[in-house]
């Protein structure tokens, strides 16, 4: 006898409620945090460079992107780097660096700006998760930087605009209506300058925490390559 859709839905809903009511498994206090295989070793910048190279070849390995890895890390995390990047849908850090669960502590904000909430998130990753590398990554044709060439927007957006605006050349007055028309070279220069400015803000906020390094990065939408410091 076939069950009616209503009965099937009720059974599914009841099962979901039963599973949701089960208490989560206890995490052992003080236990060492496991690493998914293969573990990340050596210089964090080298790991990021190697991952981006795999992405651009293209030869991605999609490391640490499995249910088993997620389950292994269910009680802890030890990301080897913090990435502050733009919220742009074309710039997902885990993808462009060919990494996965537990590898990167990612903080995303339009224009990769260091708002107070962003700074708090980075502080958490550094102070509690012991991350020693913070990467501020801008990208080519960033829409938030483009908008900063034009008059100050309405509340909420103005917070981002004010942080990016110091990177914009004030002697340049582009056409902004009905949409911005920015010289590509000036736009790209502003993107890079904004990254430098955000690095300075993050460094100042972290206050020279021992062993923590903050570096700039630039993602090229046209090639998929990420520019990182050589050392």
**Span 5-10, average pLDDT:** 68
Sorting pLDDT into bands at 50, 70 and 90, what band is 16? low
113 Rama sector, left if φ>0, alpha if ψ -120 to 50, beta otherwise: beta
pLDDT, position 29: 82
User: CA-to-CA distance for 68 and 17, rounded, in angstroms?
Assistant: 24
pLDDT > 90? residue 1: no
Chain center to CA of 222: 19
User: CA-to-CA distance for 198 and 34, rounded, in angstroms?
Assistant: 33
pLDDT > 60? residue 3: no
pTM: 0.88
Residue carrying the six token digits 């949409």 = 179
Average pLDDT of the residues of the chain? 92
Kindly report, residue by residue over 56-72, the tens digit of the pLDDT.
Answer: 998 889 999 999 999 99
**Span 81-103, average pLDDT:** 97
> Within 13 A of 4's CA, how many CA atoms are on the CB side?
3
pLDDT, position 229: 96
Q: Which residue has the higher pLDDT, 113 or 13?
A: 113
The domains of the chain, with CATH numbers, are 42-227 (3.40.1050.10)
User: Which helix (H) or strand (E) is 48 found in, with range?
Assistant: helix 44-56
pLDDT > 90? residue 136: yes
């Amino acid at each position: 006898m076939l069950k009616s859709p209503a009965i099937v839905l009720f059974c599914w809903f009841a099962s979901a409620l039963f599973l949701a009511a089960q208490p989560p498994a206890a995490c052992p206090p003080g236990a060492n945090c496991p690493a998914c295989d293969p573990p990340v070793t050596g210089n964090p910048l080298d790991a990021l460079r190697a991952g981006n190279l795999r992405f651009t070849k293209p030869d991605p390995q999609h490391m640490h992107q499995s249910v088993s890895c997620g389950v292994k890390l269910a009680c802890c995390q030890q990301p080897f780097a913090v990435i502050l990047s733009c919220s742009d849908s074309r710039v997902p850090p885990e993808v462009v660096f060919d990494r996965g669960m537990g590898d990167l502590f990612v903080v995303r904000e339009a224009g990769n700006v260091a708002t107070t909430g962003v700074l708090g998130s980075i502080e958490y990753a550094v102070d509690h998760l012991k991350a020693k590398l913070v990467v501020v990554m801008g990208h080519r044709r960033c829409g938030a930087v483009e908008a900063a060439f034009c008059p100050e927007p309405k509340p909420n957006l103005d917070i981002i605009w004010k942080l990016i605006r110091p990177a914009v050349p004030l002697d340049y007055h582009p056409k902004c209506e009905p949409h911005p028309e920015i010289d590509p070279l000036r736009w790209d220069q502003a993107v890079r300058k904004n990254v430098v400015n955000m690095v300075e803000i993050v460094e100042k906020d972290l206050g020279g925490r021992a062993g923590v390094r903050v570096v700039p990065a630039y993602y090229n939408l046209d090639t998929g390559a990420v520019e990182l410091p050589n050392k």
